[in-house]
Amino acid sequence: MRLAHSRQGLVPCLSRRPLARIARIAVAFVAGLVAAAAAGSARPATGAATAPSDDAVLSRLTASDWDGLRQLGRGALPVMARLYERGDPARRTLIANGFYSLSWESPDAKRVLAADLGTTDRTLRLSVQYALGRVSGENDVVDALLRTMRTDSRQLFRDKAACALAYDQIHLTPQGKVLLFLGLIAALSDPKLQVRAIAIQALEVHTGQRKGFEPGATESQRALAIEEWRKWLHEYRAQL
């Protein structure tokens, strides 16, 4: 199965059965995100010499006015981080979606989002997993998402961590991509069928290849395909 990826719902689904209930929740708080995501990596505005007011930031977040938020410039980022720390889960979810839409690297954004990577609030957790790679290209973000993909007790969060690894690691260096590929290839040997399935799908998103790997094949058949992936990664690293 190929990945069905929908930014409109902000719940790209790697699993075989669409999580419609989660998608409906996500649609409710990310209306208008498609246009913002398309422009998310645009150069931030530099006209604002001072940080905008809390009200200016909140009004744009509440209205899902991502273009207006972007026009406030980078000075909005520390304001958003401060509001995030003070907010309840609903407000944190809103601000996480704002970080996602801006897609600007920000140590402050990474710090506050990473603190909620283990939250028990499902909606906030999904937004955090998606947003982290949009605000940081550091290796520990990839490590955390790979760990979630393989070890989280809930299939939903494993699935959506793979989605984030497939689509949202936009600031990675070439060496960071190697780390990502290493982790995904290692996950092809995971004892859980679901993890093997989402790992190969994420690799396919990045490379357009499967190299004959089928998550439900016999162990010996999988081993042959995994060896092909290791050879590919060796060649990829040699070209850096």
Looking at residue 44, its pLDDT comes to 55
Both tokens of residue 98?
A: 């704002």
Q: pLDDT over 90 for what percent of the chain?
A: 79
Say which residue the tokens 């600031």 belong to: 171
Residue 158: pLDDT above 60?
yes
Q: How far apart are CA 20 and CA 100, in angstroms?
A: 22
Closest CA to 195 of 178, 181, 215, 214: 215
Contact 145, 129 (CB under 8 A): yes
- Measured distance between the N- and C-terminal CA atoms of the chain, rounded to whole angstroms: 31
Amino acid at 39: A
Looking at residue 129, its pLDDT comes to 98
Residue 9: pLDDT above 90?
no
Looking at residue 237, its pLDDT comes to 96
For 15-62, the pLDDT digits (tens) are 433 333 333 334 333 344 444 444 444 455 544 447 899 999 999 999
Q: How far apart are CA 128 and CA 175, in angstroms?
A: 24
Looking at residue 10, its pLDDT comes to 35
Q: How far apart are CA 24 and CA 94, in angstroms?
A: 16
Give the DSSP per-residue string, 68-124: HHHHT-TTHHHHHHHHHHHS-HHHHHHHHHHHHHH----HHHHHHHHTTTT-S-HHH
Higher pLDDT, 6 or 231: 231
pTM of the model: 0.83
Residue 14: pLDDT above 90?
no
